[in-house]
Amino acid sequence: MHMKIALLVTAAPHQENAWQALQFCRAALAGGHEVPRVFFYGDGAVHGNALLLPPQDEAHVTRDWQRLAGEHGIELVVCIAAALKRGVMDADTAQREEKSVANLAPGFVISGLGQLAEVMIEADRLVSFPG
Amino acid sequence: MHMKIALLVTAAPHQENAWQALQFCRAALAGGHEVPRVFFYGDGAVHGNALLLPPQDEAHVTRDWQRLAGEHGIELVVCIAAALKRGVMDADTAQREEKSVANLAPGFVISGLGQLAEVMIEADRLVSFPG
Amino acid sequence: MTTTLHIVHKLERGRLPGALRRSFASDDSLLLTGDAVYAALSDRRELPGHCHALGDAVRARGLLPQWPPEIPLIDHGGFVELCVRYDKSLSWG
Amino acid sequence: MTTTLHIVHKLERGRLPGALRRSFASDDSLLLTGDAVYAALSDRRELPGHCHALGDAVRARGLLPQWPPEIPLIDHGGFVELCVRYDKSLSWG
Amino acid sequence: MKHVLFIQHCAPYGSESPQEQIDALLVAATFGLRVALLFQDDGVWQLLSQQDGKQLERRTLGAQLQALELYDIHDLYVDAASLDERGLEVAELALPAKVLDEAGLQQLVAGHDLVLRF
Amino acid sequence: MKHVLFIQHCAPYGSESPQEQIDALLVAATFGLRVALLFQDDGVWQLLSQQDGKQLERRTLGAQLQALELYDIHDLYVDAASLDERGLEVAELALPAKVLDEAGLQQLVAGHDLVLRF
């Protein structure tokens, strides 16, 4: 049965569950399912930080999400409130807050919790990956 | 008795223990002690992110550390390995890694674990604030 | 009434979380991931009949030699299938 | 041999961590901070004689009305003094 | 209309998780989802009255929970065993949450289309 | 020379904490501090052999622990009660850690100038 499966990631990028979320998404796509959106909340918001640089012999989940999302049209949505508490900012907010730089990783968008509520309503499954 | 008291902060900025570390430092200075260095490690490395923007009615520990360190000559040292895993980068590293921006907060420096070992040796007390 | 896939990735002092045990209904299923895979060694008798574990988490931790054969190891494809088969999942954060 | 100020900010299901209880020597002292201040209600009998709690953590959580008088509340100045008085501190992360 | 259960399992102030779950619950309610809230494990401490987040330069979580009824959110539950483990009595709770035993917990989870506990 | 005790209390791979403690310990040893390592609570799982971090695209923690003796770090301890709680036997451990009861734990902590457990 083909399903719409949305993901909620609240694990930080360096936690095991963040890596498991990525593998789950790959398997869901390989299984013929649609993954319309991954919502990054809580410590998961750090996924959207373009300056993450894990050790070279370890996983780089942000980079992997960018590739996967680009190939399959998945929306990578970072909650704005969670992001600001954790130092992730897009260009618009940086300008408004008079910060000289922004650091949202390409491929990610910043938005509100309504994007989570939407997939609660529309997706057939919501699978969550806490830290 | 006047002491050299160093701090190790591994709590993330939005955790209660991060706030307690700051209050502890203020009290140590008020009590006539010297705080030569605060070492930010683990999730504490996120303190060095210049783009942190907590809700306006809540504490902003990075900003408070910057002020306190400026007034009292405290070294705010962020561990480089912990910082890179969590998306905190100074200008030198950003250039080397071909990132277009850096986000280390002014007043913080990035260095290695040797800076922690040094205060283990030299400080009279090392008080740690885990997450 | 809906069925639930309980996904657990942390234990309490080597045991399944008490709240998970209390909330687990007879039609539900359990998936051990992350640090919860140790439950196959430390809390084996408390595991329900419907129980799987994520193979990569088990192999990474060196648990394969002692792994109890009654708990099937699955890959992420199997994880997705479980999520589809049960009405919903509950991740024990 | 040195004395230790044990600083605890988390409990295990409402109780002091077992490892803390096992490691606590008779000359040591305990400071409750963060979520560990609930131990004054939920694990009162297990608290050692030398025990303090951080006042702001207690007041934030609404525990002042039921607070047991035998556990002194201290501010951060008192926290610093305890760190100076004991040879070292051990923060239970 | 989908029914969503949020499970609060952390004490207030130690981490961001309780605040972030409340924020998610309120938005879900705004979007027309029917939401319920279960307090479990250290989450039961959220139900104490007289909280004052300002002591830690934080918002007061207890005050936000008090305001849930203004948003027409009345489905509040608390896990009996979590109260017992912590020596808490129902009379000490600031909100009228329904106390659930094991059978009640299982029915609650089975009766919802989505359950979030992060 | 100060004596520093590191306490590992987390299982490998679930979080960064074990790796970051090992890194800190190795640097402390390089700076001439005398270091000891205690495995406690879920930290005892670090002592299982046949770990393979590559399964999760991570470094293998067990392999790094095996290498401690190359750095002349031999003061390894394990909390007996933590083993008991998890049904682990000393014979299953990959490293020759000394098993401590309560009195042993208290002496270990009292015998060090600094103790880190984060």
Query: Residue B41 carries which DSSP code?
Result: -
Q: Do A16 and F16 touch (CB under 8 A)?
A: no
Work out whether the CA dihedral A121, E97, D17, B17 comes out positive or negative. Answer: positive
CATH number of B5-129: 3.40.1260.10
Q: Please compute the mean of the pLDDT values over residues A31-58 and round it to a whole number.
A: 97
Q: Do B55 and A85 touch (CB under 8 A)?
A: yes
| Interface test with chain A among C76, C82, C85, C88, by most A beta carbons within 10 Å | C76
Q: Do A127 and C83 touch (CB under 8 A)?
A: yes
Distance from CA of C56 to the nearest CA of F (A): 5
Q: Which pLDDT score is estimated for E99?
A: 98
Q: Please compute the mean of the pLDDT values over residues F89-118 and round it to a whole number.
A: 97
Single-letter residue type at C28: D
Nearest to E17 among A42, A85, A121 (CB): A42
Q: Does C60 touch chain F (CB under 8 A)?
A: yes
Token output for A26: 């790959």
Distance from CA of A65 to the nearest CA of F (A): 15
| Gyration radius (Cα) of chain B, Å | 14
Q: Do E115 and C90 touch (CB under 8 A)?
A: yes
Among the listed residues A5, A9, A46, A79, the single catalytic one is A79
Q: Which pLDDT score is estimated for F69?
A: 93
Q: Which pLDDT score is estimated for A1?
A: 81
Question: Within its chain, how far is the Cα of B109 from the centroid?
Answer: 9
Query: Residue B14 carries which DSSP code?
Result: T
Give the nearest chain C residue to A30 (CA atoms).
C77
Q: From residue F76, how far is each of A94, B1, F114 by CA, in Å?
A: 49, 35, 16
Token output for F86: 């998890």
Chains that touch F (3 or more CB pairs under 8 A): A, B, C, D
Q: Does residue B35 have a pLDDT over 90? A: yes
Query: What is the CB-side half-sphere exposure of residue F43 using CA atoms within 13 A?
Result: 26
Give the nearest chain B residue to A89 (CA atoms).
B51
E17-64 per-position pLDDT tens digit: 999 999 999 999 999 999 999 999 999 999 999 999 999 999 999 999
Distance from CA of A98 to the nearest CA of F (A): 33
d(CA B22, CA B12): 12
Q: What are phi and psi of A79, to 5 degrees?
A: -65, 130
Q: Which E positions 2-61 lie with beta carbon below 8 A of chain C?
A: 9, 17, 40-41
d(CA D25, CA D39): 19
C27-45 per-position pLDDT tens digit: 999 999 999 999 999 999 9
Nearest to B120 among F16, F17, F33 (CB): F33
d(CA A4, CA A28): 9
Nearest to E51 among D10, D13, D61 (CB): D61
B85-129 per-position pLDDT tens digit: 999 999 999 999 999 899 999 999 999 999 999 999 999 999 999
Query: Which residues of B does the annotation mark as catalytic?
Result: 79
C80-91 per-position pLDDT tens digit: 999 999 999 999
CB within 8 A of C52, min separation 6: which ones? C29, C30, C31, C32, C71, C72, C73, C74, C78, C82
Q: Are B8 and F115 in contact (CB under 8 A)?
A: no
Q: Please compute the mean of the pLDDT values over residues C15-38 and round it to a whole number.
A: 98
Q: Do A120 and E2 touch (CB under 8 A)?
A: yes
Closest by CA position to F14, among listed E70, A24, B81, A18: A18
Q: Which domains does chain D have, with CATH numbers?
A: 4-92 (3.40.1260.10)
Q: Which E positions 62-91 lie with beta carbon below 8 A of chain D?
A: 62, 85-88
Q: Which domains does chain F have, with CATH numbers?
A: 3-117 (3.40.1260.10)
F85-100 per-position pLDDT tens digit: 999 999 999 999 999 9
Closest by CA position to E76, among listed E102, E97, E101: E97
Q: Does E99 touch chain C (CB under 8 A)?
A: no
Q: Which pLDDT score is estimated for E61?
A: 95
Q: What are phi and psi of A70, to 5 degrees?
A: -65, -40
Token output for C40: 């196959």
Q: Please compute the mean of the pLDDT values over residues F45-68 and round it to a whole number.
A: 96
What DSSP string describes E17-53?
HHHHHHHHHHHHHHTT-EEEEEE-GGGGGGGBSS--G
| Interface test with chain F among C10, C43, C59, C61, by most F beta carbons within 10 Å | C61
Q: Please compute the mean of the pLDDT values over residues D16-44 and round it to a whole number.
A: 97
Give the nearest chain B residue to A95 (CA atoms).
B51
Q: Do E118 and A113 touch (CB under 8 A)?
A: no
Chain D positions touching C22 (Cβ under 8 A) are none
Closest by CA position to D92, among listed F2, B125, B127: B127
Token output for B76: 């705010």
Work out whether the CA dihedral D36, D40, D46, D48 comes out positive or negative. Answer: positive
E-assigned strand segments in D33-74 = 51-54, 73-74
* B55 burial via Cβ count (<10 Å: 0-12, 13-18, 19+): middle
C45-77 per-position pLDDT tens digit: 999 999 999 999 999 999 999 999 999 999 999
Q: Do A128 and E118 touch (CB under 8 A)?
A: yes
Q: Which helix (H) or strand (E) holds B56?
A: none
* Adjacent-strand bridge partners of C7: C31, C91
Helix or strand or coil: residue B31? coil
Q: Which pLDDT score is estimated for B1?
A: 81
Q: Do C83 and A10 touch (CB under 8 A)?
A: no
Q: Which pLDDT score is estimated for D5?
A: 98
Nearest to E59 among B16, B19, B57 (CB): B57
Q: Which pLDDT score is estimated for E7?
A: 98
Give the nearest chain C residue to A23 (CA atoms).
C76
Q: Which pLDDT score is estimated for C38?
A: 98
Q: Please compute the mean of the pLDDT values over residues A40-64 and round it to a whole number.
A: 97
Nearest to B58 among E14, E15, E58 (CB): E58
| Gyration radius (Cα) of chain C, Å | 12
Give the nearest chain A residue to B86 (CA atoms).
A52
Q: Please compute the mean of the pLDDT values over residues F37-43 and round it to a whole number.
A: 98
Give the nearest chain A residue to B54 (CA atoms).
A85
Q: Does residue D37 have a pLDDT over 90? A: yes
B1-11 per-position pLDDT tens digit: 899 999 999 99
Distance from CA of F74 to the nearest CA of D (A): 21
Chain E positions touching D63 (Cβ under 8 A) are 48
Distance from CA of E111 to the nearest CA of A (A): 16
Q: What are phi and psi of E50, to 5 degrees?
A: 65, 25
- The percent of residues in chain E predicted with pLDDT above 90, rounded, is 97
Q: Which helix (H) or strand (E) holds F70?
A: none
Chain E positions touching A8 (Cβ under 8 A) are 116, 118
Q: Are A78 and A68 in contact (CB under 8 A)?
A: no
Token output for E81: 């065993």
Work out whether the CA dihedral E100, E101, E104, E109 comes out positive or negative. Answer: positive
Q: Does B59 touch chain A (CB under 8 A)?
A: no
Q: Do F41 and C63 touch (CB under 8 A)?
A: no
Q: Do B59 and E57 touch (CB under 8 A)?
A: yes
Q: Please compute the mean of the pLDDT values over residues F15-36 and round it to a whole number.
A: 97
Q: Do A12 and B46 touch (CB under 8 A)?
A: no
Global confidence as pTM: 0.98
d(CA E117, CA A21): 16
Q: Are D84 and E79 in contact (CB under 8 A)?
A: no
d(CA A48, CA C10): 25
